[in-house]
């Protein structure tokens, strides 16, 4: 029994025997974020945050057909660019751009698509290629993301030409050779008040329930953060979505689980209407009823997707706006999902979307976000640092050493916060935050400038902490 007292996770214990945290090497694994894309744009490839105004489109059936045509042409351009890269060693991004105009010369339907829209597609092809190169160079374990041919493209992106916005902001005209024409925009945001040259991209997106247009605007959103003096650590879970260090919980919405019965029924209907012989022998299209059933299923999935997104966004916004520092556990969701018993629930909880939005709001509010390595956050006692082994089903932390009894998740959240605060105070970027003064200043460095830096654009936070598991009895 006695020998177990040595089993501690350093960093948790506050005893006087602690080695100075400052003397050790930095641990990669901590970072202060701006995580994710940093804005609500799914990708402004010119860099920098962009705002996206999204509208549903109202148009005639013939116009929708031409939109499909444009989307297909865009896919064609991307796939042809990829083909060129596969066939010709040493192809560069510029070669792909040149190839675009060659394609327009050879294929009349490709020429109909706006030239900048073609080039945007080849840039996307290059992005896939360079990601593959980067993965190879970084020796990422497992698959390297070799670029694939696209067969289900749903969007086409125009840059600053090929479209025209009416002065009322309610109508958009596509002016390229695809002949889509004028469409009505359905939505509440008024884009007409913005200068026209701030609209850098116009994207046409097809979804299960209709066609949408996204206008990417080169503008930043500003929010005045009201300081609350409250730092918080959060522990994400499946039974409850999140538990914070003050013991507050947010319920898991379980959108998929609620919609599952309906989705399963719709999926059965789709399967029943599928005729393999039509595909195999005659290459005929599937029946009209099959397509209707498929559309219903797609809409049901779209609804779940939107519910998750909405929840993630609201939960993230509520969290960030009511705290001054946020710490979370840097779990590798990709690895957790490999557990097939948990995968569906994990995906349904949508931690990734939530953290992405937390990253966005953190940037907006200028609040620090600190990721803590997940080791020992559940096991080490937040009172004395003793490791208390738990299985997944143990819901309460009971420390045999100091007698601390706490809910498992709340206890983990406290540990996460404590670790984050240690790394935050010792970081050279840390400004005077949370009312308290910093306990020590790092030797070297100018000691200045750190309070002047805005929190929003901080680089990675170097942490001066390392954990080593002390062997029992050692």
3-class secondary structure, 387 = strand
Return the number of the residue (194 or 381) whose C-beta is nearest Zn ion: 381
To Zn ion, the closest distance from the beta carbon of 424 in angstroms equals 23
Q: Looking up tokens 């779990």, which residue turns up?
A: 331
Residues that bind Zn ion (CB under 5 A): 381, 383-384, 386, 399, 401-402, 404
Number of CB atoms found within 10 A of residue 348's CB? 19
- Sign, CA dihedral 20-24-28-32, equals positive
Contact 324, 231 (CB under 8 A): yes
Contact 363, 319 (CB under 8 A): no
To Zn ion, the closest distance from the beta carbon of 386 in angstroms equals 5
- Note the residue count of the chain: 474
Return the number of the residue (60 or 405) whose C-beta is nearest Zn ion: 405
Return the number of the residue (304 or 417) whose C-beta is nearest Zn ion: 417
Dist CA 421 CA 12 (whole Å): 12
327, 328, 329, 335 alpha-carbon torsion, rounded to 10°: -150
Q: Looking up tokens 């979307």, which residue turns up?
A: 353
Return the number of the residue (7 or 214) whose C-beta is nearest Zn ion: 7
Burial class (CB in 10 A: 0-12, 13-18, 19+), 390: middle
To Zn ion, the closest distance from the beta carbon of 334 in angstroms equals 33
Return the number of the residue (5 or 161) whose C-beta is nearest Zn ion: 5
Return the number of the residue (125 or 381) whose C-beta is nearest Zn ion: 381
To Zn ion, the closest distance from the beta carbon of 382 in angstroms equals 8
Return the number of the residue (382 or 464) whose C-beta is nearest Zn ion: 382
Look at residues 255, 251, 376, 242 and name the one whose alpha carbon lies nearest to residue 320: 242
To Zn ion, the closest distance from the beta carbon of 241 in angstroms equals 27
Return the number of the residue (120 or 384) whose C-beta is nearest Zn ion: 384
Structure tokens at 410: 């709340």
Beta pairing class for 396-398 and 369-372:
unpaired
To Zn ion, the closest distance from the beta carbon of 11 in angstroms equals 14
To Zn ion, the closest distance from the beta carbon of 398 in angstroms equals 9
State residue 211 phi and psi, 5-degree precision: -110, 140
Q: Looking up tokens 């208390």, which residue turns up?
A: 388
To Zn ion, the closest distance from the beta carbon of 376 in angstroms equals 13
To Zn ion, the closest distance from the beta carbon of 394 in angstroms equals 15
Dist CA 374 CA 327 (whole Å): 11
To Zn ion, the closest distance from the beta carbon of 85 in angstroms equals 58
Show the beta-strand stretches assigned E in 51-191.
51-58, 155-158, 163-165, 171-174, 181-186
Return the number of the residue (14 or 314) whose C-beta is nearest Zn ion: 14
Structure tokens at 309: 């997104």
Return the number of the residue (124 or 381) whose C-beta is nearest Zn ion: 381
3-class secondary structure, 368 = coil
For the chain, helix, strand, coil in percent to 5 are 40, 15, 45
Structure tokens at 192: 């007409």
Return the number of the residue (436 or 472) whose C-beta is nearest Zn ion: 472
To Zn ion, the closest distance from the beta carbon of 379 in angstroms equals 11
Number of CB atoms found within 10 A of residue 222's CB? 6
């Amino acid at each position: 029994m006695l020998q177990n007292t040595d089993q501690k996770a350093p960093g948790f214990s506050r005893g006087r025997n602690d080695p100075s945290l400052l003397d050790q090497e930095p641990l990669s694994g901590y970072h202060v974020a701006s995580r994710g894309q940093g804005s609500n744009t799914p990708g402004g490839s010119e860099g920098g945050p962009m705002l996206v105004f999204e509208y549903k489109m109202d148009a005639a059936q013939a116009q929708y057909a031409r939109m499909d045509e444009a989307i297909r042409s865009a896919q064609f351009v991307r796939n042809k660019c990829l083909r060129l890269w596969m066939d010709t060693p040493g192809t560069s991004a510029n070669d792909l751009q040149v190839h675009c105009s060659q394609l327009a010369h050879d294929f009349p339907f490709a020429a109909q698509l706006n030239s900048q829209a073609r080039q945007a597609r080849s840039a996307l092809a290059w992005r896939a290629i360079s990601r593959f190169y980067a993965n190879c160079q970084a020796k990422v374990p497992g698959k390297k993301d070799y670029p694939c041919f696209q067969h289900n493209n749903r969007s086409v992106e125009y840059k600053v030409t090929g479209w025209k916005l009416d002065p009322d902001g309610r109508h958009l005209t596509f002016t390229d050779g695809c002949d889509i024409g004028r469409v009505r925009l359905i939505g509440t945001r008024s884009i007409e008040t913005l200068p026209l040259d701030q609209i850098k991209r116009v994207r046409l997106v097809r979804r299960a329930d209709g066609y949408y247009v996204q206008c990417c605007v080169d503008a930043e959103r500003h929010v005045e953060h009201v300081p609350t003096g409250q730092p918080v650590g959060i522990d994400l879970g499946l039974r409850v979505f999140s538990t914070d260090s003050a013991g507050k919980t947010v319920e898991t919405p379980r959108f998929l689980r609620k919609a599952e019965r309906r989705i399963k029924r719709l999926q059965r209907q789709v399967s029943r209407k599928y005729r393999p012989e039509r595909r195999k022998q005659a290459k005929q299209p599937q029946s009209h009823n099959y397509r209707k059933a498929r559309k219903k299923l797609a809409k049901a999935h779209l609804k779940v997707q939107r519910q998750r997104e909405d929840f993630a966004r609201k939960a993230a916004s509520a969290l960030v706006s009511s705290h001054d520092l946020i710490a979370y556990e840097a779990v590798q969701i990709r690895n957790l999902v490999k557990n097939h018993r948990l995968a569906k629930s994990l995906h349904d909880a949508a931690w990734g979307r939530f953290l992405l939005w937390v990253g966005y709001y953190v940037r907006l509010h200028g609040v620090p976000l600190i990721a803590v390595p997940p080791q020992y956050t559940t096991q080490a006692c937040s009172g004395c640092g003793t490791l208390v082994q738990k299985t997944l089903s143990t819901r309460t932390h009971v420390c045999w050493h100091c007698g601390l009894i706490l809910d498992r998740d709340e206890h983990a959240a406290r540990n996460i916060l404590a670790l984050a605060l240690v790394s935050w105070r010792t970081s050279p970027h840390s400004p005077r935050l949370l009312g308290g003064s910093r306990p020590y200043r790092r030797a070297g460095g100018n000691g200045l400038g750190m309070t002047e830096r805005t929190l929003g654009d901080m680089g990675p936070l170097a942490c001066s902490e390392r954990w080593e598991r002390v062997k029992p009895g050692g």
